[in-house]
């Protein structure tokens, strides 16, 4: 991704989470890229903001897979490592 796309995605994640908790930003790694998100941002906000088709992805935080039903309750903290994995089919 180029810088403007990353900046736009970061801004979208931060804006989407702003209504949740109005504390300062925390730094997380999403697929190896540092991003600042609002404190209290949940995994579902990050996944839906950064994925074109969230229904076709899996997500892990700090190397532990998080079931889809727990995404909305999984708050991200400073230093968390998030991996968003897309299912791929083919042969």
CATH code of residue 63: 3.10.20.30
Q: Is there a domain that residue 21 lies in? A: yes
pLDDT band with cut points at 50, 70 and 90 for residue 55: confident
Q: Is there a domain that residue 91 lies in? A: no
Q: Is there a domain that residue 74 lies in? A: yes
pLDDT at 53 over 90: no
Query: Does an H or E element contain 66, and which?
Result: strand 64-66
Q: Is there a domain that residue 55 lies in? A: yes
pLDDT at 26 over 60: yes
Q: Is there a domain that residue 42 lies in? A: yes
The tokens for 47 are 């996944």
pLDDT band with cut points at 50, 70 and 90 for residue 8: low
State how many domains the chain has.
1
Percentage, residues of the chain above pLDDT 70: 74
Q: Is there a domain that residue 82 lies in? A: yes
CA–CA dist 69, 49 (Å, integer): 17
* Domain region containing 56: 3-86
Q: Is there a domain that residue 41 lies in? A: yes
Q: Is 74 left (phi over 0), alpha (psi -120 to 50) or beta?
A: beta
Residues facing residue 58 across a β-bridge: 85
Q: What pLDDT is stored for residue 2 in this prediction?
A: 46
**Dihedral pair phi/psi, residue 83, rounded to 5°:** -120, 125
């Amino acid at each position: 991704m180029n810088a403007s796309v990353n900046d736009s995605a970061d801004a979208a994640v931060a804006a989407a989470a702003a209504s949740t908790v109005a504390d300062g930003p925390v730094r997380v790694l999403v697929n190896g890229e540092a991003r600042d998100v609002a404190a209290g941002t949940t995994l579902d906000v990050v996944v839906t903001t950064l994925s074109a088709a969230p229904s076709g992805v899996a997500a892990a935080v700090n190397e532990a897979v998080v079931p889809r039903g727990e995404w909305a309750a999984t708050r991200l903290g400073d230093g968390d490592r998030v991996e968003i994995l897309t299912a791929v089919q083919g042969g």
